[in-house]
Amino acid sequence: MTDLRLIGYWRVNGDPNSAYPHPGAWIDLAWDSRERHIVGGYLSAGTVLRAYMGFSPCRICGRNNGAAEYTDGTYVWPEGLSHYVDEHSVRLPPEFVDHVVRRSDALEAQEVSDSWWRNQPARTEATVTALSSADPEPTMPAAPAGMIEHRDGGDGLYLDATSVWSYMVTRLAAADGHRVLAATARGTIANGHAEVSWTEVHQMTDAAYRELVAQSRQDAERDRATFRESP
């Protein structure tokens, strides 16, 4: 296995005994801007190899400059190396720059095929037949035995005249052990009016749900009464 080549580590300011160079000695303000932007973009798009505790400071301007290492399978560099290239025009060795430009040019020259993606089997039978068609409705898992599904406010209790939904959410969030098994929301905006529908599967018995609605309605009525009485 070939070792990864380390690049872009700098000595700490004030440490003349470090074997690493200082980035200030590598600044080239005449560096071709197109090539510099290619290198900077390449460095910022690497694969994260590992992360460390704490940020490394930029040796030139002092800003926090990342805490991870990136790699492209050949070189490995600190996350903040792109900052030195983009912001301070630190020009890296020609061998590395040529490596980056060659790989970037090779990728740009490749044709892109969508056949593999178009031929992937769908996970459900729902399909979209035209750009104007509605998105397929997501398939929701069934509630476990002894639980009840509450979908789209279909029982009339989510969206009744007292509108207790926000109070229900508050109570659910505070309930120990309660969890939503699955949820999705869909919204539209027309003429400045927003409409949102939702689907949820709760781990909750029907009796507990009815009690939740009753308590939340009381909360809503109490707060509305307080608001009406306020000067």
Structure confidence at residue 37 as a pLDDT band (50, 70, 90)? very high
- Residue 10 contacts residue 59 (beta carbons within 8 Å): yes
Is 143 within a domain? no
One-letter amino acid of 188: T
Is 120 within a domain? no
**Looking at residues 171-186, what average pLDDT do you find?**
61
pLDDT at 5 over 90: yes
CA–CA separation, 153 and 171 (whole Å): 17
pLDDT at 188 over 60: no
Same domain, 99 and 169: no
Same domain, 103 and 15: yes
Q: Which of 109, 141, 168 is the last residue of a domain?
A: 109
Q: Which of 29-38, 99-108, 111-120, 147-156 has the lowest mean pLDDT?
A: 147-156
pLDDT at position 195, please?
55
Is 164 within a domain? yes
**Looking at residues 97-125, what average pLDDT do you find?**
89
* Token reading at 113: 């095929």
**Looking at residues 126-146, what average pLDDT do you find?**
51
Structure confidence at residue 125 as a pLDDT band (50, 70, 90)? low
Q: What is the CA angle 106-7-10, rounded to 5?
A: 145
Is 138 within a domain? no
Same domain, 93 and 12: yes
- Residue 40 contacts residue 87 (beta carbons within 8 Å): no
Pairing of strands 68-71, 75-78: antiparallel
pLDDT at position 161, please?
38
Instruction: State the number of CA atoms in the 13 A half-sphere of 226 facing the CB.
Output: 6
CA–CA separation, 198 and 96 (whole Å): 52
Q: Which domain holds residue 97?
A: 5-109
pLDDT at 163 over 50: yes
For 99, other C-beta atoms within 10 Å of its C-beta total: 19
pLDDT at position 199, please?
55
Q: Which of 68, 74, 78 is nearest to 102 (CA)?
A: 74
Is 141 within a domain? no
The residues pairing with 202 across neighbouring beta strands, listed in sequence order, are: 180
Q: Which of 100-109, 205-214, 220-229 has the lowest mean pLDDT?
A: 220-229
- Domain count across the chain: 2
pLDDT at 169 over 90: no
pLDDT at position 136, please?
53
Checking 204-208 for CB contacts under 8 A at 24+ apart, the result is 204/147, 204/148, 204/178, 205/146, 205/147, 205/148, 206/148
Distances in Å between the Cα of 174 and the Cα atoms of 167, 177, 179 are 11, 9, 11
pLDDT digits (tens, 9 = 90+) for 15-34: 878 899 999 999 999 999 99
Q: What is the CA angle 69-70-75, rounded to 5?
A: 110
pLDDT digits (tens, 9 = 90+) for 201-221: 556 677 777 787 788 888 878
Same domain, 104 and 155: no
pTM: 0.53
User: Residue 137 — left, alpha, or beta (φ > 0 → left; ψ -120 to 50 → alpha)?
Assistant: beta
Same domain, 90 and 159: no
Q: Which of 173, 174, 184, 181 is nearest to 204 (CA)?
A: 181
Compute the mean pLDDT over every residue in the chain, rounded to the nearest whole number. Answer: 76
pLDDT at position 130, please?
45
pLDDT over 90 for what percent of the chain?
A: 39
pLDDT at position 190, please?
55
